[in-house]
Amino acid sequence: MYVMDASAIIHAWDNYPINYEPFPALWDSMQNLIEQDLIVFSEANFKEISYNSRDCYDWLKEVNPTIIRPSNDIARTLLSIKNNELGITEDNYHAKGVDEGDLFAIATAKSLGFVLVNNEAKQANDPQDKSKVCIGALTALAMSNN
C-alpha cells in the first residue's frame, strides 16, 4: 500500500496529461489503485493538492480516495521526526527543506507501514543544517528509524 505525496501526483498530473495519448491508461490505472485503497493520501496532502492543482484535486474527488486523518500515532511520529530527526521547533521550516505536508506524508506512511511515493531524489549530501533535508533523504532516514 502507498501514501502519495502531493507533489508526486501534481507532477504526474502536469507532465502526463489525462487527455493526451497514451496517458489516459496511466490515469485509469491510478484510479483503479486508488479505488482499491492501494494508494491513499494524508489529509494534509489532499488539502495541498486542492491549493496547488485544482484540476487534479477535482479528478481525485471524483475518484474518491481514502484520506487518512491524523491519528495520535501519526501525530507522535510527525513530532518525533520534526523534533528528533530535524531539530525543527514550532513552525521554523527552512525553504530548502521539508514542510509540514511532507512530514504528514512521511509520518502517515511510517505509522501505517506503507510506502511513501514522492518524486524527489535522495540528496547527494546530507546538509549540515538538518532543517534543509529534503523529502527524499528524510524518507529514507525516518523509515529506517523505528
Strands (E), 6-144: 39-42, 67-68, 115-117
- What's the grid cell of residue 119? 518524486
- Using the predicted structure, report yes or no on whether residue 67 has a pLDDT greater than 90: yes
pLDDT at 134: 53
CA angle 12, 33, 2 (to 5 degrees): 75
The mean pLDDT value for 77-86 works out to 80
Angle, to 10 degrees, between the axis of helix 72-80 and the axis of helix 100-112? 120
- Please tell me the predicted confidence (pLDDT) of residue 143: 58
The architecture of the domain spanning 1-146 is 3-Layer(aba) Sandwich (3.40)
Identify the band that residue 146 occupies on the pLDDT scale cut at 50, 70 and 90. Answer: low
Q: Helix, strand or coil for residue 103?
A: helix
What SS3 class is residue 53?
A: coil
Least confident of 12-16, 70-74, 119-123: 119-123
- Predicted confidence at residue 141, as pLDDT, reads 54
CB atoms within 10 A of CB 47: 16
The pLDDT, as a whole number, for residue 20 is 86
Top pLDDT among 80 and 73 is at: 73
- Return the percentage of the chain with pLDDT > 70, whole number: 73
Q: How confident is the model at residue 100 (pLDDT cuts 50, 70, 90)?
A: confident
**Highest mean pLDDT (candidates 56-65, 81-90, 93-102):** 56-65
- How much of the chain exceeds pLDDT 90, in percent? 54
Strand order in the sheet with 115-117: 67-68, 39-42, 2-4, 115-117
- On the question of a cis peptide bond just before residue 24, with omega within 30 degrees of 0, the verdict is no
The dihedral built from the CA positions of residue 127, 130, 134 and 137, taken in this order, carries a sign that is positive
